[in-house]
Structures are given as C-alpha cells and as structure tokens.
Amino acid sequence: LEQYVVLDKKKKYKLADDVLHKVIASQESRLGRYVGRYNHILCKERNNGIPHADIEFNFDFKKHMQVLQTVKKYCKHNRIPYYNFEIRTTMQDDAMLSCCNGRDAMWIDFQAKAADSVDFFGKIEAELKPIGFRKHWAKGLGNTDPSYVVTQFPNMKEFVKLIAQFDPNGKFRNIEGELWYQEMTELVSHQSEEGSSRRFSLRSRSWAGESIRRLSLTRMQSTNSVSNRQLRRRSSLLTNSSKMNGVVAYELAGFWSEVENVHVSQHPSKNAQCTSGDGEKEGSQYGTDKIHNDEKDNSC
C-alpha cells in the first residue's frame, strides 16, 4: 500500500494499479475467513504501517443510489490517496444525536494516508454536501463547519437543554465535548431568538455560521491554521471558564501550551496545584477556579 501511494503521487498510475491489484487479490483470497458474527471473528490491529485518517458520512438510505453515483463519478476523474472505502447500513433509531435518528441510513467511510487526508477529505465532502449528510461524531469531524454539522439534528435544542439541566458544570465533558457544547448552545440560542419552531432556516444557518467563527473547528486554508484554531478555541473557552470542570480546565493548559504561556489556578487545598506555561505539573490535577494567562497573573 505504501508503494501504491508513492507511485500514485509520482503519477506512475499503471505501476501503482499493478501493486494495488496484488494487494486486493491477496485480501480477496482471505475474505472467506472473515465471514460470521463479529464475536466469532478474531480482529487484529492494522499492521500495514501507514498512519491513516477516516471520515464517514451518513445519508438517508433513500439517497443511496445518488451517493454511490456521485462517488463513482469522483473516482473516475480523480486519484484517491488510499484504495478503499466502506459502506454499511443501519436502521433508524430515536437517539437524540444519532445519525440514524428518524430514518434508515446508509454510511460511507473514506480513508486516506494521514498526510494527504485534509485535501482529499475536503474535496470528497464538497462533492457529497449537496446530497445532505450527517457526520460520524468521531471521524473527520474537524473537516466540517460546525454550523452545518449541528443543524442536521432536529433534537439539538432539547439535547442542549438536557445537558444544561443534568451536567451544568461539564463533569462528563472533555475538551472536545465542551467545544461542541458551546457550538450547539450558540446555534440553539440564535434559533430561539429567531422564534422559529422549525429546524434552522438557511438564513439562520448563515448567520450562526458567521457568529461562531471564533469557535469553529473547521480547517482553515492558511499555513498557520492549527494555531488559528487553537486561538479561537482558547478565546471561546476562556469566556466560559466558570462553567469548566477542573479536569477539563487542567487539560486545556497542555492544549494551549504551544500557543502561549497559560496558568490554571487551583482550589487552595492540600493537593492544590497549577500548571505553568511550560507544561510542568505540580501536585494534584483536580479543581480549578479560573483560567488566566501570564499577562494578567503570574501566580498559581
């Protein structure tokens, strides 16, 4: 597979395809061993040595032909940086943030060598977006504008309300969970202000998308995109530090350490500690009152 990727980049397509066909033939000869219930199959970690990334889209099952035709057309005119994708189907359910909420679903998952994933994922997502999709919550989510992801779930408003009721201090949210909670809250808040009883209108989607750029998890097309995303996250979380659980706040110190010096003030207890700007830790990792930077306060 590594040879295939290298040859493909060099535009030696015939040689690349010959290598790929050998890989596929080898896999096909072994497929019979992997048919059966999941708990009857020995699953081993991938050992192909290629760090890869995944992105997975969920569609209304009724649109499956349109999805497959779109992917086939894309592959006909483009070389993809990995050879396979996966398709599966699931029945509808009623879980609030389930991609299968309210309809039977078809999934399609793409993989790519990690170094090539950003460009490829952006292109394939652009091809599929006109069809309308929901995103797997743990695959390639950072490639998509949160204002689009969030508005695909009709029960988002009720979900955010339940979070505020049962987990007001973020005890069960890690850093990514907190960031998405803020995205959801921002969008739902605007929906309420608009007084709309239906799902987000195109107008409200556009407004919300602009209003939460500072929170956006999407990839920017600039050389310092990572730093920019971290700064936006830092800004949004600082404004909500009073809501943060101590463990999450502690985690943020390491997250921001590459951007600028950050301290996490702790409760004055026997195990109190703080994390300095260089990431060194002292004492316990739990409990926080506030988050601040070096320019305001150099003490713990």
Q: Is residue 210 part of a domain?
A: no
Confidence of residue 296 (pLDDT cuts 50, 70, 90): very low
Q: What is the pLDDT of residue 267?
A: 43
Report the Cα 294 to chain-centroid distance in Å. Answer: 30
Q: What is the pLDDT of residue 49?
A: 59
Question: Which residues on adjacent β-strands are paired with residue 52?
Answer: 113
| 107 and 120, same domain (yes or no) | yes
Q: What is the pLDDT of residue 89?
A: 95
Buried (b) or exposed (e) across 123-150, using 16+ Cβ within 10 A? ebbeebeeeebbbbeebbbbbbbbbbbb
Q: Is residue 8 part of a domain?
A: yes
| 9 and 88, same domain (yes or no) | no
Angle CA(243)–CA(249)–CA(251) in degrees, nearest 5?
Answer: 145
Tell me how far apart the alpha carbons of residues 127 and 164 are, in angstroms, rounded to a whole number.
36
Strands annotated E in the chain = 52-60, 85-90, 105-113, 134-135, 262-265, 290-293
Q: Which residue is listed with tokens 């730093």?
A: 227
| 101 and 22, same domain (yes or no) | no
Question: Which residues on adjacent β-strands are paired with residue 108?
Answer: 57, 87
Domain span holding position 31: 1-49
Among 6-15, 96-105, 252-261, the least confident range:
252-261
Q: Give how many domains the chain has, as a whole number.
A: 2
| 55 and 37, same domain (yes or no) | no
113 token code pair = 């060598």
CB atoms within 10 A of CB 44: 6
Q: Is residue 224 part of a domain?
A: no
In the predicted model, what is the mean pLDDT of residues 60-88?
A: 90
Confidence of residue 98 (pLDDT cuts 50, 70, 90): very high
Q: What is the pTM of this model?
A: 0.62
Most confident of 7-11, 77-81, 97-101: 97-101
Tell me how far apart the alpha carbons of residues 84 and 46 are, in angstroms, rounded to a whole number.
14
The pLDDT mean for the chain works out to: 71
